[in-house]
Structure 1
Amino acid sequence: MTRKQKIIQCAINTNIIDDNLTAIGIMDLDRLKQTVKDAYDAFPENFYHTFAVKANALVSVLKSLREYGMGAEVASPGELLIALKAGYSHDSIIFDSPAKTMADLRTCIKYGISLNIDNLQELARIDALMLEFPETKSVIGFRVNPQIGSGKISSTSTATATSKFGYALADGNNKQKLIEIYKARPWLKSIHTHTGSQGCELTLMASGVYSITALAEEINSYIGHQQVVRLDIGGGLPVNFISEEVSPTFKEYADVLSEKVPLLFTNKYQVKTEFGRAIAAKNGVIVTRVEYTKNSGGRHIATTHAGAQILTRTAFLPKSWPLRVTGFLPCGEEKTSIQSEVIPTDVAGPCCFAGDLICVDQQLPKLEANDYVMVHDTGGYYFSNHFDYNSLPRIGVYAVSGDDDALIIKCIRKADTVEDVLAKMEYRE
């Protein structure tokens, strides 16, 4: 029996998921810890890894990641507050939003939170703030768009010619202008790019990192000393959603970077990463109960309580974000072809639109009412997604740890049942 099978059996047999709590998210903290270790083992000591908070903004998960040695990358004021609540120090946080308000910028510079500048208008605001806080400990740099092209998923590609993110390096005379900007501002000590995301090849990501490394060298040479001391190479390492295999690995990415940008591995620069999905995704699952089943047009349909309110990306962009599912009996035993016939199945969610589907026309052992479905690789951008806060009931989240034979499951976010919500509502005629 696999660790995942033991986890779901434990959750069912201890009545964590039942008739009232019909969908839960589970994070495997031991596996999460191993993933962070894999990241650190793959790179030399001048690399420091931060976690993209948007990938899993649960305070308990972030606390664990902090204990495992990761910093925090935030992209909104809310994420900053969550990171601070999880115990991150100011100097372990980096703020990356492309829409920072003056208040956001003031907070960062006043308290020594690092940040990446998105555009020249933001630079003008920071120029004013640096007069007010000349001794800030914030490490500040530009986010650069190397404009090197798109990956397979256009909506998550951040280095296209017209990307909304960062300073367009290849437009006109922008490169020389940026070099002059750095020379005039000794407090600009970092350069950032985020070239990759799901659907991007490792070689494309490495090309973006090469661009900012070459730019840092050119800036330092032009100034006459090493003013740029940090390279923030972003995250975006793709995740394999079609099997249990972890691919690509952090080691594979490090090998590509080492070949393309060997200077990163010489200790000349501090290198920061901002991995999110690659850290969290494969260490979390969603478990939901099958409420009803039926046949329509020759297709078997299993209706569950996990859909667009939790699995938002998959429901709206199923070809870009496919997910694997596994069926389980009410007792927690995995359903196999030995127990029931394998038939074309749609696993549906509870929302009232036709696209609310976890998977379509998948060959699965026949699901029945009161069975359970495990949705794999959902530890990032799914059950911690903010859309879930508008769902009824709100999904409960649990952390699992311990040896396979002595699993410990602990609630880290309580779910409101329908009865809880109704009890809080105030009705008026």
Structure 2
Amino acid sequence: MVTGSQAALRRERILTAAIRQRLIDPDDALLAGFVDLDGVADSVAALQQAFRGSVSVLHAFAAKANPLVPLLKELRGLGMGCEVASAGELAQALAAGFAPEQIVFDSPAKTRAELRQALELGVAVNADNFQELDRIGDLLATCSSTSRIGIRINPQVGAGSIAASSTATATSKFGIALEDDGNMQRLLRAYREHPWLTWVHAHVGSQGCPLDLIAEGIAKTVAFADKVNAEIGRRQITGIDIGGGLPVDFDTDDTTPGFDTYVAHLRDHAPALFTGAYRIVTEFGHSLLSKNGFTAAYVEYTKTSGGRPIAITHAGAQVATRTVFQPDSWPLRVAAHHPTGARKTGPLVAQDIAGPLCFAGDVIARARRLPALVPGDVVTILDTGAYCFSAPYHFNTLPEPAVYGVRTGPRGDVRFELLRPAQTIDDLVTRASH
């Protein structure tokens, strides 16, 4: 297990090498993202180990967390499948070489054209509502398909501490509300009438959701599958997609809770999931990548306002959108570095770490105690391997930064692989002109 000090030293080694190779540079590359591919492999291995001994399991990476095609290829090579939530993510998964049967399509707003493509390819589809289920039935009447088809249910077990990350509340936009009047009977009728309907899907939430809440939602899903099979009198539901949802520790370098802890909670709440009666799909993304990435940005200016020191950097809402708009729910750690990449030491000063965007709320961290920053220093924004490289915020027409994969050799040598090139000003002008 990697300790906090080891993780910090590893990031410093990566940053120093990146500066030396001018992947981040005060003139040409003011901002860049880094994904630790060795760490990603370790995280995938931990997930696979946690479920080892279970029945057939497909671990489908949630592409929304970071859909860069070279990274998706890396995950495919590690034995992952891919969960997608849009036509764009589906195209990226196919470009990364995932076989259709390794892909799960979960968008709540799938069009007829998107459904037709998925069914023709043999991509697994989870219907979000009864209308979509009817649409799938109409399409299957005109074409054959090898797709695994399920229904997303909402087990309605409640919210965690972050409402926006809780998807099993009484009024969630996702899935069919299991306890609403009449829905159970409609669901039973749907499974009875459609032999091709053989899966069920649920996702309770992620950040801010305690493991017991997540496990309770999965337990209700397993109980639902058992009820369907018992009442229909045949093994109609053969697989359960349990979503993802492992929270991430944004306060330290620890990767707790781990996947083994998650599985232990599932075994306590839903032991039937591990009997071999059902195939399993998981959809982790956030918990696989967040701790394995960081963003590096130069400090352009420093000043004081109302007695508060402020560092104006090149990392703001364009790369850490959730943090800027929901700082209490999505806090990020910040580390201070010299221009060489070496970690800064010295007296800690409460200072704001602000971004370059032209609105007052563009602040990554407020009153954060760090060694005093000066122009030319570098800040690293930690735990940004998920979402920060896949959800750019285009206010002020700032270019998307380059993202690099990183591998470390046995002697500590650092090797970089370009996952996404930096967007140029010409690229931005072209996009806005046509």
Whether TM exceeds 0.5 here: the answer is yes
Matched, 1:405 2:415: no
Q: Percent identity?
A: 47
| Deviation (angstroms), 1:426 | 9.9
| Deviation readout 1:44-64 (Å, 9 max, x if unpaired) | 342221011010010111110
For 2:176, which of 153, 167, 179 is the aligned residue? 167
Match of 2:385 in 1: 379
Please give the residue correspondences for 1:50-199 in structure 2 after superposition, counting only pairs within 5 Å. 50-133=60-143, 135-199=144-208
Q: 1:175 to 1:287 in 2, by over 3 A?
A: same
Matched, 1:29 2:40: no
Please give the residue correspondences for 1:321-340 in structure 2 after superposition, counting only pairs within 5 Å. 321-337=330-346
| Deviation (angstroms), 1:12 | 1.0
What amino acid maps onto 1:356 in structure 2? D
- Partners of 1:277 and 1:286 in 2: how far apart? 16
What amino acid maps onto 1:239 in structure 2? V
The alignment covers a number of residue pairs equal to 422
- Partners of 1:220 and 1:393 in 2: how far apart? 52
Q: 1:392 to 1:163 in 2, by over 3 A?
A: same
Q: 1:389 to 1:14 in 2, by over 3 A?
A: farther
What amino acid maps onto 2:37 in structure 1? L
Does the aligned pair in 1 maintain the 2:299–2:377 contact within 8 Å? Answer: yes
* Stretch moving more, 24-33 or 398-407: 398-407
| Deviation readout 1:132-161 (Å, 9 max, x if unpaired) | 12x311000110001111111111110011
Please give the residue correspondences for 1:283-362 in structure 2 after superposition, counting only pairs within 5 Å. 283-337=292-346, 341-362=347-368
| Deviation readout 1:282-340 (Å, 9 max, x if unpaired) | 11100000011111111111111110111100011111110000000001110012xxx
Q: 1:110 to 1:424 in 2, by over 3 A?
A: closer
Runs (5+) with no aligned partner, structure 1: none
Does the aligned pair in 2 maintain the 1:309–1:391 contact within 8 Å? Answer: no
Matched, 1:205 2:214: yes
User: SS of the counterpart of 2:376?
Assistant: coil
For 2:18, which of 1, 11, 20 is the aligned residue? 11
| Deviation readout 1:330-359 (Å, 9 max, x if unpaired) | 01110012xxx3111100000011110110
| Deviation (angstroms), 1:423 | 8.1
Q: 1:78 to 1:426 in 2, by over 3 A?
A: closer
For 2:233, which of 224, 235, 239 is the aligned residue? 224
User: SS of the counterpart of 2:116?
Assistant: helix
| Deviation (angstroms), 1:217 | 0.7
Match of 2:247 in 1: 238
What value does the CA root-mean-square deviation take over the aligned residues?
A: 1.6
Q: TM-score, normalised by structure 1?
A: 0.95
- Partners of 2:186 and 2:358 in 1: how far apart? 52
Runs (5+) with no aligned partner, structure 2: 1-5
| Deviation (angstroms), 1:424 | 5.6
Q: TM-score, normalised by structure 2?
A: 0.94
- Partners of 2:103 and 2:206 in 1: how far apart? 21
- Partners of 2:297 and 2:412 in 1: how far apart? 23
- Partners of 2:266 and 2:186 in 1: how far apart? 27
